[in-house]
Amino acid sequence: MNAVLWGMLLRILQAFLQGAPFIFTGLCIAGLLDRLMGHAATRRMFGSNSVVSLAQSWLIGMLLPGCSLGVIPICRKLRSSGISVGTIFAFALSSPLFDPLSLLYGLTLSKPFTILAFATCSLVVVTVSGAIFDRLFPGTEVREPERPAPPFGIKRILAVAVDMAREATGPTAGLVAIGLAGVGILAACLPAGSLQRAMAHDNPWSPLVMTAIAIPAYATPMTAMGQLGSMFQHGNSVGAAFVLLTFGAGMNLGLLAWMGSTYGWRRLVVWFGLLFLAVLVISYGIERPLYPRGIEAADHTHAFDRYCAPFIPGEVPQRGFPAEILHRVRMDTQPHEWFGVAILGALVAAGAALRRFDPHGRLDAWLTRPDGAADRPTGRYDVVLPGPVVAGVALLGIVAVSLAGCFAYYPPPREALEELSLATVEVASAAVAGDRAHALEWIPVCESWNRRLVVGTYLRRGRLSDFHLAKSRLLEERLEELEHAAEDAPREEVRDRALAASRAFQYVSRAWTTEPLD
C-alpha cells in the first residue's frame, strides 16, 4: 500500500510541476480577457454560435500556449462573456493540443504530413462535434453582469494581477486539483509497466484502450508530442496516438467537472458522446493511411510508463520513498517549470491574503474607481489606449514569447551537442559500471537533448540533411536498445549496448562538427 500511495504522490507532483507554467499562462490570459478586453470585445474575438466561430476558437487555441489545466480559468471567463458552449468547448479542446514549441518538436518526430494531418483532424473534430451540439442546444450563451473597467494607468495592471490572484484561490484551484487527481487514480490502478504492449498497430482495441487511459490522464502538449513520437518510432497504433493527443492532452477530469457542473451533466454526456464518436471514427480511419512505412513494430514501448505506477508493490527504493521522489522530481523538472511553481505560489499567497483581509472586494472597487484628473493624459506624448487594445497587444506578446521560447528551449546546435555529450557520458559510464538505475535515469535526458539538437538546427537553418537525421536516429535507436538491456539483460550485454550508444554519439558529434548542415 505504501508503494501505491507514494506512487500517486509522485505522479501528481510531476504533473503539477509540468503544468505550472501553463496554469500561470491561463490565469494571465483570463485576467486580460476579464479586466481589459471586456465582454463585447471577447465575443468579437472568439465569435459565438456559428461554424466560423468554432474554427476561430480552434485557431486562437492553436496560437496561445496552454494545457488542459490552464484553459479552465479561460473557459470560465469565456462563459461569463456570453459565448456559446460549442465555441468554448472548441477552444478548450484545441488550445492544449498544439503550441509553437510542441509543433516544432512534433515535426521532427514523424513525417511533417502526419503532424499536420493530426492538426487538421483536430479541427474537424471540434467543428463537427461543436456544430452538432450547438444545433441540438441553441441559445446556450449566458450574459453575466460585467464589472466596471479599471481606469488607464497602473490600476489596469493591478486589476489584472488581483483578478489572477483571486482566480488562483477560487473555483479554478479546486478544478485543477480534480484534474491532477486523475493522474493519481491512474497510478493507483495501472501497475508499473502494464501499458508497454497495449497499443499495438494490429490490435483493433488500441484506440478504445487509449481512450479509457487518456481521459483521466494529464499531459502537456510537449509530453503528448514526445509520446506520439515514441509511438511512431515503435510502430504503435496511429489511431491510438490521435486519441492520446485529443483526450490525453486536450482533456482532464477537472475540465469535465467544470463542464458538467456549469452546463449540466446531460449536456456534457451529449457533447462528449459527439466528441467520442468523431474521434473514434477519425482514429480508425487514419490508422492505415498514416501508419509509417518501413518500420518494424517493437514488442513494447516505455512511452506510457508515466501513466502507470512508478513503484512496484513490496519493493522499497534503496534511498527510501521520500528521497526517491525528491530525486526524481529534481531530475525531471525543467527551470521554467520551477519558475511557474514559484509564481503560482506567489499568486496563491496573494489570493489567500485577499480572501482573508478583503472578502468584500474593497480593493477591486478602488481599482475601478475613476481618478478624476488622472483619467486624462497629462504629458505631451501620452496616449490613452482602450483596454481591448492593451489586452490584444498583451495576448500577441504571449504568442511572441512562446515563439521566442522555442529558441530558448531548443538552443544552438553547439550548445545542445555539449549537453548531449555530458548526458551520454553519464549513461555510458553508469551502464559499463553496472549501475543500471543511474543509466536508466539519464537515457531520457540523452533522448531529449538528441531531439533538441535536431529541432534547434531546424530553427536556425530551416532544414537538415538526411545524413544528419540518420545519425540522430541511429543514436535514438541505440539508446532505446540500451534502455531495454538495462532493464533485465546480462551485464555483458548492457556493456555492449552502452559502447554502441557511445559510438553512435561519436557519429552524431562528427556529423554536426565536420559535415555541412545543408
pLDDT per residue over 325-348, tens digit each? Answer: 888 888 888 888 899 999 999 999
Reported as a single tens digit per residue, the pLDDT across 280-323 is 999 888 888 877 776 666 666 777 778 888 888 777 777 788 88
pLDDT value at 1 more than 70: no
User: What percent of the chain has a predicted confidence (pLDDT) above 70?
Assistant: 92
Contact 178, 297 (CB under 8 A): no
What pLDDT, on a 0 to 100 scale, did the predictor assign at position 31?
92
How high is the mean pLDDT of the chain? 84
Mean pLDDT of 47-74: 81
Annotate 364-397 with b (16+ C-beta within 10 A) or e (fewer): beebbeeeeeeeeeeeeeeeeeebbebbbebbee
Contact 303, 233 (CB under 8 A): no
pLDDT value at 195 more than 80: no
Alpha-carbon dihedral angle through residues 222, 86, 182, 331, given to the nearest 10 degrees: 20
pLDDT value at 512 more than 60: yes
CB atoms within 10 A of CB 210: 29
* DSSP one-letter string for 107-122: HHHS-HHHHHHHHHHH
Q: Where in the chain is the domain with CATH 1.20.120?
A: 413-514
Burial class (CB in 10 A: 0-12, 13-18, 19+), 52: exposed
For domain 413-514, which CATH number applies: 3.30.450, 1.20.120, 3.40.50, 1.10.3470?
A: 1.20.120
Distance CA 247, CA 276 (A): 9
pLDDT value at 38 more than 90: no
Angle at 8 between CA 213 and CA 3, to 5 degrees: 120
Distance CA 172, CA 34 (A): 15
Reported as a single tens digit per residue, the pLDDT across 90-126 is 888 888 877 766 776 666 666 667 777 888 888 888 8
Distance CA 199, CA 340 (A): 33
Q: Report yes or no on whether pTM surpasses 0.85.
A: yes
Provide the 8-state DSSP code for 152: S
Q: Which residue in 452, 444, 467 sits closest to 415, CA to CA?
A: 452
pLDDT tier, 424 (very low <50, low <70, confident <90, very high otherwise): very high
pLDDT tier, 517 (very low <50, low <70, confident <90, very high otherwise): low
Contact 26, 74 (CB under 8 A): yes
What pLDDT, on a 0 to 100 scale, did the predictor assign at position 107?
65
